Structures are given as C-alpha cells and as structure tokens.
Amino acid sequence: MISNKHFNIIVALFMVIALCFSSLIMLLPKSSTSSTSIEQPDYITTIFNDDSVIEINIEMDEDSWQEMLDNAASEEYTAANITVNGTTYNNVAIRPKGNSSLSQLVTDDSTERYSFKIKLDKYVDGQTLDGLSKLVLNNNMSDTTSMKEYLSYKLLDSLGIPTPACSYAHITVNGEEWGLYLAVEPIEEEFIERNYGSIDGNLYKPESDNVAMGDKDNNENKIMDNNNFSPSENTTSENNNKTTIDNSIDMQNQSNMNNGDSSGQMQMPPDMNTGNSTGEMQAPPDMNNGNASREMQTPPDMNKQSTNDSTNQPQIPNGIGGGIGRNSNGANLVWNGDDISNYSAIFDNAIFKTTDSDDYTKILDMIEHLDSLDDIESYLDVDEVLKYFAANTFLVNLDSYVSNMNHNYYLYENDGIVSILPWDYNLSFAGFQAGSASNAINFPIDSPVSDSLEESPLIGKLLEVDEYKDIYHHYLNEIVENFVNNGTLETLITKTDSLISSYIQNDATAFYTYDEYKASLSNLINFGYDRATSIAAQLDGSQPSTNTGTIETTVDLSAMGQQGGGNEKGEMNNMRGSSDTTPPNADSSTPQSDNTTESSMNIPNSNTTSNFPGNISSNTSDLDPSIMMQAMQIIQSSEDGSITDSIKTELLNLGLTNEEITQLSSIQIPNQDNNGMHDIKNNNLAMGPGNISTDNTNLIITLSSIVLLVIALVFVSFFKKRKYIS
C-alpha cells in the first residue's frame, strides 16, 4: 500500500511529466527540417557576411585566363589558384557560367564580364572553402541596382524559405581590378544539409524546352551517393537534354540560323589529377563558328506539338509578356499521366546521382495529387510553397516558374514531401517581361503568372482552396507590413549602398556607370513602396486582384535594369540591339520592352542576314531577335495570322513602330499547333520551412501526454476513495 506521505509526491510527479510532454508541443519546431535547429557551417559566417565584401583574387597565367574567356561558350573548367580573404586555395577549377546571358556576352565584343563557377574540390579531393565545395559568382547583368538578387534572397530568407546564402565579392585577377560580383551558395549538397540536416532526399532543377539547351550545372552535378559526402570526380556527367537539342536542331534546319560547321565537338580537358580524359561533359556541336554557348537559346520548334494536353496558346494577360512557345515537358508541373517520359524536364535534371526511377514516382504522386488537391499536404509542403509565391509575387519575378519558361527553381523531395527552392533573381523587381511600370506595380496577386493559372498549377491549384489563399494573403500582408512599410527594405537598400558603392564606382568591368547605379536606387525604393501599396489595396478589395489595377507610380523600370539592357558601361541597350547609345524612354507610362529572359534568348548575330521562320525580310533584321520572336508569337495568336487592331496594340506595347508592324503584316508566318508558417497567428514573418501538415513527432507527443494525464486522473480518482495505512 502507498502511504499518505508518498501519495502527493507520486501524483505531483505524474502531473509534472504530463506537463513537460505537453510543453514540448509548443517548444519544438513544427518542421523537423527547420534551419533554426541545425548547426550552420563555418562558411555562413566567414564567407556570407552581410557586413563585409569578400575579397577574391584569381591567380592564373594571363594566356590561360584569356583563353578561358575566349572560349567561354564551352564552359570548360580551367585550373587556377584563388585567394579568399587572405587564404589561398591552390589548384581550384573555374569556368564561365550562364544560360542565354552567357551566349549574349559571348557575342558582345565590348565586355568579358562573365559569371563564374568555382569548384574547389575538382582537382584536390576534399578541398573546401570553410566547408563549401563550390561557389557561384554572379555578374549582376541586366541589374543597374546590383541589388535585385541580393534583396530577393533576403526577403525569401526572412520568410523562412530555405534560401541560398549570398554576399558581395570584390574580384581581382592577378591583382588587377575586375569587378564587384554577388557570391551565391549553389543549391547542392552543402545547401541541402545546411537547411534540412542531412543529404537524404532528391533534388531536381527543372528546365523546360523553352529554355535553351539546358544548364551545364544540372548535368555536371549528378552529385553524390548519399552515404558518401565527397562528390565523385570520376563520373562522367551525361547531357540529358536530348529532346531540347533535337528541338534546337529542328529549328536550326527550319530557320537556317547557323553558318558554321555543326559537326565538331569540343572535348573536355583531362582531369588534372587522374590524367583521364572523361571530363565532366562534352561541349555540344559548334553552332556559330565556335562562339555559341552550349546553353544558347534557339527558338523552339514552333510547329512541334507540346507533350502537354493543353489546347490553349500561352496567354499574355494584363499586358505582361508570356514568352515564346510552349514545350514544358513537365516543368510546369501540370499532370500529364503517369508516363515518366512526359516529365523529362524534371527527371533529366536530377542533381543527386543516387536518384532513380523509384524516386521519380514521389514527384509524380505530388503532381497527381496537386491536380486533384486530394490530401495534397501529404505530398507537398504547402505552407513553404505559399511563402515562396508570396515573395515571388511581391517581387514580380517572372523569369521563373510563373512564366512559360518554367525554370529558375528547384524541387526538393524528402520522405515524399516536395518543396520548391528559389534560384536566380537578377531579373526580379519586374526586370523581365513586366511591360510598363504601371503593369508591374499593379501585377495581380491572385493571378500572379504571366502564363495561365491552369498552366501553373503549383500556385493555380492552391489558390482554388480558400484556406490556402488566406494563408498566401497572410504572407503577402506580412511582406507589406514587416518588410516594406516598416522601412526594412529601404534601410536594407541604404545599408547595402553604403557597403558596395565605392566598389561599383571603381568597377573596371561594370555594365553601368556609377551615375546610373546611383540613379537606380530611388526607383528601387519607390518600387517597394508602390508595390506594397498596390498589394495592400488588392488585399482589402479596393483594387482588382486578378487583373491589372490603377495604382499610379513614378518608377522607371529601365533605370533599374531589364533583360537585354546594359551590356556596355554607360549604354542601356535598346530593343533593336544596335550600336545606338540613345537611352530608352524614361517615361514610366510607356510600356517597356518585353526583353527576353536570362534563359529565353538572345540569338547571336551571325555576320549574315538572319533568316527567321516565315522568311522575314532583311528590312526587319535590325530588330532584336527576341523581340521578333515575341512579335511572331503575338501575331500567331490571331485566328488567321492577320494583324487586327488588338494585335497591333499588343505589338505597339511590345515596342514596335508602325512602320515595323506594316513590314510584319506582309510576312508569312507559320501557324503554331495549338497542342503545341512559423505560426499563422504570429504577426511576424514566419521562420523555418513550411509547417501546415501535422508532424508525426508532434502527434506522438500529444497522444503520450493525453495517456499520461488519463493515468494520473485515474490514479487520483482510485486512491482518493481508499483509506491508507500509515
């Protein structure tokens, strides 16, 4: 029997245990992958420091450096020594990188300011930069502010979205000034471990057939065995973009764009450690006298039937450019049956080499349940996805999933739950196909795509659910109140300007002058406030949220930099791509040119008259080819290919003159085949990956607490009626 003197102690002990278990429910993060519970690697503080600029000196024989730049299109690694903040790393690998931005620079004789990728462990096994094996150096192309990508990542990070770390880097080459870049953590193995605690799961970087010939980063990675953290240098990466290459060849034959030999291939150099000649990848056939990028965008086959079942042409709503023709091959995440080949844009771009067809089914499960919305939270991190799109919508970042380019994002699947990860934001703040400044500021929050919601189900389907739309609106309001209206964004811009201004003033390879940079900042600040005003009005119903509103703005988008603008210091390239240095119209009421995306295209000048599909005459050959392709797309949207009044208005908004439209009206253009939340109740920006779904651990804790409480109550009830012997 239990004595009275022990009874109270035992009851109290049971109650304390139950209370402790109950408290854990509130104390533990709702996602076991929350970055706040994971120890961060050294490079986060030593390299990606918001209060300082990294100093990077690249040491390379001058002839080797120039040879690498001259052959930038091949994206071949070259050995170099680099010194980072005073510490030297010998025998690292460096190469130019990019999609159409690379091909655009390759054909521009006025600059050699390429973006770069550094791989520290290619030639020296295990060599890292304080735990980071690769580093991306972005050149801030098409961004007069030099801040768009940096600010975007800061916003995404503040929402708790797993985001690449970044900081500014001052680059010198053999001690000579080169320029100010943005250093970015690649989304690869270290990123996944830093944000999710392990390298389990599967990582993909979807690229639709609308985007060039693929991304070498995807194909070189196929990174690692999950049980071996060291990337294998002996594995030859495969180019899995055969479909895209075939399309490019089709278009080459159709448009006769290339004059050089297309049969040769450039081999990667032997691995400097092993002496083997496998390399990481072969460069593709020389497509333009040896100067074309392997990632160069060529127009998609405009008569090729899309693998998707959509029968609608890509939409260009609200004056926002929709890009060129569609062939997403699954990159838009539209359900197209359970045939894996229908989703080659995803599965051909798996990053981890251990990913196989069994893993593909988890992505297919997510896409199928997204289509039906049946138990979607068991397959998709809905909360994290809604945060992502809230940020993307505020930023008017159309060079992303929300255009028919369907790119610049990653999918990460772990234990059957899929998240979306952000990438490549240099064209955010309406730098890509946003039309006029008014269109950009009033970009609708409830149809936040330049394609269609049906073709963008990752946001379109979720917005069909009132609960999810409310959560999405909550995050938009958090951005308005806690990132813009409280002064956070403006303070961040001012602080960043203080940090980088002197570097930009002395930047030897800058795309823009220092005066242009300084003038851009007021527009950047005003964009933030005006965009927040528009979103707040859309949220309270005083402005439309599914089409363009009427909030006025004085923002000049061209002053902030747009796709295709500013490849030469002091020269903002106009839409015709000529040597005319006249700056673009600064009137913000005039629709801006829908210049193509970083991956959409800038077709290199081939030293001969361009022959576009439909035998476009040389009278229009001075037009930027990307603008020409968009004009063709608009004309094709009419029933008989004629230029109606509405089509003419769209062409004028695109930037064409009446004379050019008249010329186009006489051109025969081929028709295109139609088939062709930390806590939602917290009034703060949420932290950590998404958290709508009930975590299994939390459920176990809750049930255990209930059981203990019931036992305690039964114990008290039973012994309360007994007489105890002391």
Integer Cα distance of 677 and 519 in angstroms: 37
pLDDT at 684 exceeding the cut of 80: no
DSSP class of residue 597 equals P
Average pLDDT over residues 484-513: 98
Confidence at residue 269, expressed as pLDDT on a 0 to 100 scale = 38
By residue count, the chain amounts to 726
Label residue 104 by pLDDT band (50, 70, 90).
Answer: confident
pLDDT at 344 exceeding the cut of 70: yes
pLDDT at 491 exceeding the cut of 60: yes
Helices 148-158 and 488-505: angle between axes, nearest 10 degrees: 150
Three-state SS string across 101-149, please?
HHHHHHCCCCCCCCEEEEECCCCCCCCCECCECEEEEECCCCCCCCCHH
Integer Cα distance of 448 and 501 in angstroms: 33
Label residue 675 by pLDDT band (50, 70, 90).
Answer: very low
Confidence at residue 620, expressed as pLDDT on a 0 to 100 scale = 44
Query: Which of 13-17, 55-59, 519-523, 672-676 shows the lowest mean pLDDT across its residues?
Result: 672-676
What spatial distance separates the first Cα and last Cα of the chain, rounded to whole Å? 9
Contact assessment for residue 379 and residue 411, using Cβ atoms and an 8 Å cutoff: no
Confidence at residue 625, expressed as pLDDT on a 0 to 100 scale = 54
Host H or E run for residue 587: none
Label residue 596 by pLDDT band (50, 70, 90).
Answer: very low
Host H or E run for residue 488: helix 488-505
Contact assessment for residue 115 and residue 138, using Cβ atoms and an 8 Å cutoff: yes
The model's pLDDT over 107-163, given as tens digits with 9 standing for 90+, comes to: 888 999 999 999 999 999 999 999 999 999 999 999 999 999 999 999 999 999 999
pLDDT at 385 exceeding the cut of 90: yes
pLDDT at 435 exceeding the cut of 80: yes
Q: Residue 598: name the closest of 308, 385, 293 by CA.
A: 293
Question: pLDDT over 70 for what percent of the chain?
Answer: 58
The model's pLDDT over 312-343, given as tens digits with 9 standing for 90+, comes to: 333 334 444 444 445 689 999 999 999 999 99
Label residue 101 by pLDDT band (50, 70, 90).
Answer: confident
**What residues are paired with 87 via a beta bridge?**
84
pLDDT at 39 exceeding the cut of 60: yes
Query: What average pLDDT does the chain have?
Result: 75
Contact assessment for residue 560 and residue 520, using Cβ atoms and an 8 Å cutoff: yes
CA distances (Å), 555 to each of 36, 519, 656, in order? 37, 11, 22
Dihedral sign for Cα atoms in the order 611, 617, 623, 629: negative
Confidence at residue 243, expressed as pLDDT on a 0 to 100 scale = 35
In sequence order, which residues have a C-beta less than 8 Å from that of residue 121 and are 6 or more positions away? 127, 128, 133, 230, 231, 233
pLDDT at 550 exceeding the cut of 60: yes
Strand pairing category for 166-173 and 54-59: parallel
Confidence at residue 24, expressed as pLDDT on a 0 to 100 scale = 54
- Helix, strand, coil percentages (3-state) for the chain, rounded to 5, are 35, 10, 55
pLDDT at 509 exceeding the cut of 60: yes
Confidence at residue 159, expressed as pLDDT on a 0 to 100 scale = 98
Q: Which residue has the higher pLDDT, 641 or 150?
A: 150
The model's pLDDT over 160-212, given as tens digits with 9 standing for 90+, comes to: 999 999 999 999 999 999 999 999 999 999 999 999 999 999 999 999 876 54
Q: Which residue has the higher pLDDT, 664 or 78?
A: 78
Question: pLDDT over 90 for what percent of the chain?
Answer: 53
In sequence order, which residues have a C-beta less than 8 Å from that of residue 683 and are 6 or more positions away? 478
Query: Which of 15-19, 56-60, 471-475 shows the lowest mean pLDDT across its residues?
Result: 15-19
Q: Residue 598: name the closest of 72, 75, 98 by CA.
A: 98
CA angle 598, 423, 211 (to 5 degrees): 40
Average pLDDT over residues 473-494: 99
Confidence at residue 712, expressed as pLDDT on a 0 to 100 scale = 66
Label residue 301 by pLDDT band (50, 70, 90).
Answer: very low
Q: Residue 296: name the closest of 322, 320, 260, 350 by CA.
A: 260
Cα 648 to its chain centre, rounded Å, is 33
Confidence at residue 640, expressed as pLDDT on a 0 to 100 scale = 60
Q: Which residues of 676-694 are buried (b: 16+ CB within 10 A; e: fewer)?
A: bbbeeeeeebbbbbbbbbe
Label residue 238 by pLDDT band (50, 70, 90).
Answer: very low
